[in-house]
A and B are shown apart, each in its own frame.
Chain A
Amino acid sequence: MSSALSEAMADLNEDVVLSEIDRLLGNGTPSLEIIAALQEGMAIVGKRFEEKDYYLSELIMSAEIFNEAGKKLGTEATDAAGTLGTLVLGTVHQDVHDIGKNIVRSVLASHGVKVIDLGVDVPATKFVEAIREHRPAAVGISCLLTTCFGNVKSCIEEIEAAGLRDGLKILVGGGPLDEAAGRYVGADLVCKDAMIAVDWFKTRAGAAA
């Protein structure tokens, strides 16, 4: 594994990340090894975020660099990205805000979670269909408007009514969505930031190992 690549990823040095990938590919290094090095760098990014050495912009930037790296590595990266499990993600019906959702998508994807992004203004039926199709470990519902909390609640109720709730973790997040609101909508976990979701996937993977 390339420690230079991991360090460059952790330090958000995009030019070095991309040139190091070119060098490793030129040497015949397998893509999966390169991805492992990138993910090791992403783990350091996550640790620095938790320790307040990094902030949201660094999380966003790390995901941007990882995406660029992924383009060089082709489908191998996508295939390898599902090792921690799958998340079906969307902003709830009648809400079009997507900044938080997109941060979650990018950060989780770069930590090895396969993310099925349903977009914004997603009706409950779409969540139900996606859960049936992809059998995710978790569903992430984003909501920034108090006027849409009722939609989050009814979405979770529809997932339950469809018989899909057992074994499925429901994560929610969004500015005003606090613990009390999380209880109101019936969520399992309120994510104040993306790293809480990453930690949940890592803990789950660790428990399953």
Chain B
Amino acid sequence: MAAPANPGEAYGRRLARLKAAVALEKPDRTPVISWSDAFCANHIGAPMSRFSSELMYSAEVTARSFELLPGFDAAEMAVAEPDWVAAVFLSKMKIAGRDLPEGAPWMVDEQERMTEADYDVIAQRGWFGFFVPWAKEHLGVDVPSYVPQSIAARMEGTKRLAALGIPTFTIALGGGTPLEALSAGRTMARFVRDIHRMPDRVQAAMDATHPQMIGIIKQAIRESPVKPFSVFIGLARSSPEFWGPKLWERFVWPYMKSMIEAIVEEGVVANLHFDSCWDRELPRLREFPKGSCVFACDHATDIRLAKKILGDRMCIKGDVPSALLAFGTPDQVRAYCKALIADMGDGFILSPACTMPANAKLENVMAMIEAVEA
């Protein structure tokens, strides 16, 4: 399928639709977007091994997949970076062709790679003083040489999509809470034990990490050749499903709050990609300025409850279930999406819960796209 005759016009129309949804205004119709990820490789028959390991190739494949699905209003991400995503979480990724059979989607290989003593190292040297040498030694990732490659690939992917008239919805800059990285580096069980046994050491590491993370994200937004529409904050283990109110108030909320505020201060939308169930703490998200955030939920949070509590404060995005996209029928997908669109009203973006599953049926993806048409 060729690019639209006027990609600039198509880009502007789609972007206006997204902006209206985020601003809680009335768009011409509900926007539909996707973080298509490994699905793109399967969709166009690209080898998963290459898609998982070559940044520029993943940008090319992602754009080709979206070119074949012009009903999407945006690509959530322009490039797949599994090794980097794992590194940011102090982990390694298993990927096709290297650790897994060809065709298998990547998955995090969580091991206890970070020690108790590393909390003190982080507290003394700061996050980057710890992370840069640690990543090289334990993960084989050379951060100074990787980052420019990553930026170049993101720009290339964004450019390819824009040439097709498709905006890129968000950019991932490693934003999250320190808890996400530390709990993955220690493993969840060890980290929970650390929180109970040595809470002050854990907090000292978090306090040394967080200002640096905020600083680098603000710098990246300012220096980005193209101002991003939104910046991604990915949280899963920070979810209230894991932590009671007392621990959540101490080890999650202050960090996520200041991270979100920092992004919003830069004039960029905060894309709150919050996995697991956030029902208990939804009222807290009302503290952020109206129209400054998108709450993206993965079907574990009650999306209709989110609408009720947050609907007059922020746009909500979600939540077509992975299992439905992979194993349902087009009629089931259509019915789910239509009901969701009717219930959510304005200030809503239709998207898969989390990422598009790698094995989503194409006819189900089409049904999801078609559901936004009246």
Interface size class of chain B, counting residues whose CB lies under 8 Å from the partner chain: 35 or more
Smallest Cβ-Cβ distance to B104: which chain A residue: A94
Interface residues as binary, B109-121 with A (CB distance below 8 Å gives 1, 0 otherwise):
1100000000000
The total number of A-B Cβ pairs within 8 Å is: 89
Residues A29-68 near B (CB distance < 8 A):
53-58, 60-61, 63-64
With A57-B195, A64-B193, A181-B323: A147-B104 Cβ-Cβ less than 8 Å:
yes
Is the Cβ of B323 less than 8 Å from the Cβ of A147?
Answer: no
Q: How far is the CA of A121 from the CA of B240 in the complex (A)?
A: 29
Q: Which segment of A72-80, A95-103, A123-131 sits at the interface?
A: A95-103
Is the Cβ of A57 less than 8 Å from the Cβ of B243?
Answer: yes
Q: How far is the CA of A161 from the CA of B260 in the complex (A)?
A: 53
> A55: which of B241, B322, B323 is its contact (CB, 8 Å)?
B241
With A94-B104, A97-B107, A146-B326: A56-B241 Cβ-Cβ less than 8 Å:
yes
Is the Cβ of A146 less than 8 Å from the Cβ of B323?
Answer: yes
Q: Decide if B128 is an interface residue (CB 8 Å cutoff).
A: no
Question: Which residues of the partner chain A approach B358 to less than 8 Å between Cβ atoms?
Answer: 145-147
Interface residues as binary, A88-109 with B (CB distance below 8 Å gives 1, 0 otherwise):
0000001111110011001000
Is the Cβ of A147 less than 8 Å from the Cβ of B327?
Answer: no
Is the Cβ of B110 less than 8 Å from the Cβ of A99?
Answer: yes
Residues B318-356 near A (CB distance < 8 A):
321-328, 353
Q: How far is the CA of A12 from the CA of B243 in the complex (A)?
A: 14
Q: How far is the CA of A64 from the CA of B328 in the complex (A)?
A: 39
CB A79 to nearest CB in B, in angstroms, measures: 24
Question: Which residues of the partner chain A approach B327 to less than 8 Å between Cβ atoms?
Answer: 146, 149, 180-181, 184
Question: Which 3 residue pairs of A and B lie closest in terms of their CB atoms, listed nearest first?
Answer: A146-B326, A176-B322, A146-B357
Is the Cβ of B107 less than 8 Å from the Cβ of A58?
Answer: no
> B240: which of A55, A99, A144, A145 is its contact (CB, 8 Å)?
A55
Q: How far is the CA of A121 from the CA of B266 in the complex (A)?
A: 44
Is the Cβ of B323 less than 8 Å from the Cβ of A57?
Answer: no
Smallest Cβ-Cβ distance to A100: which chain B residue: B188
Is the Cβ of B241 less than 8 Å from the Cβ of A61?
Answer: no
> A149: which of B196, B299, B326 is its contact (CB, 8 Å)?
B326
Q: How far is the CA of A146 from the CA of B355 in the complex (A)?
A: 11
Smallest Cβ-Cβ distance to A177: which chain B residue: B323
Q: How far is the CA of A141 from the CA of B194 in the complex (A)?
A: 29
Is the Cβ of B107 less than 8 Å from the Cβ of A57?
Answer: no
CB A117 to nearest CB in B, in angstroms, measures: 13
Question: Which residues of the partner chain A approach B196 to less than 8 Å between Cβ atoms?
Answer: 12, 14, 61
CB A142 to nearest CB in B, in angstroms, measures: 13
Q: How far is the CA of A94 from the CA of B99 in the complex (A)?
A: 11
Q: Decide if A178 is an interface residue (CB 8 Å cutoff).
A: yes
CB B38 to nearest CB in A, in angstroms, measures: 8
CB A94 to nearest CB in B, in angstroms, measures: 6
> A147: which of B105, B243, B324 is its contact (CB, 8 Å)?
B105
Q: How far is the CA of A54 from the CA of B243 in the complex (A)?
A: 8
Question: Which residues of the partner chain B approach A57 to less than 8 Å between Cβ atoms?
Answer: 192, 195, 242-244, 247
Q: How far is the CA of A106 from the CA of B192 in the complex (A)?
A: 13
Q: Decide if B100 is an interface residue (CB 8 Å cutoff).
A: yes
Q: List 15 A-B contacts (CB under 8 A).
A: A55-B241, A57-B242, A60-B189, A60-B192, A64-B189, A96-B107, A99-B187, A103-B189, A146-B325, A146-B327, A147-B359, A175-B300, A180-B323, A180-B328, A181-B327
CB B327 to nearest CB in A, in angstroms, measures: 6
With A61-B193, A64-B192, A102-B189: A146-B322 Cβ-Cβ less than 8 Å:
yes
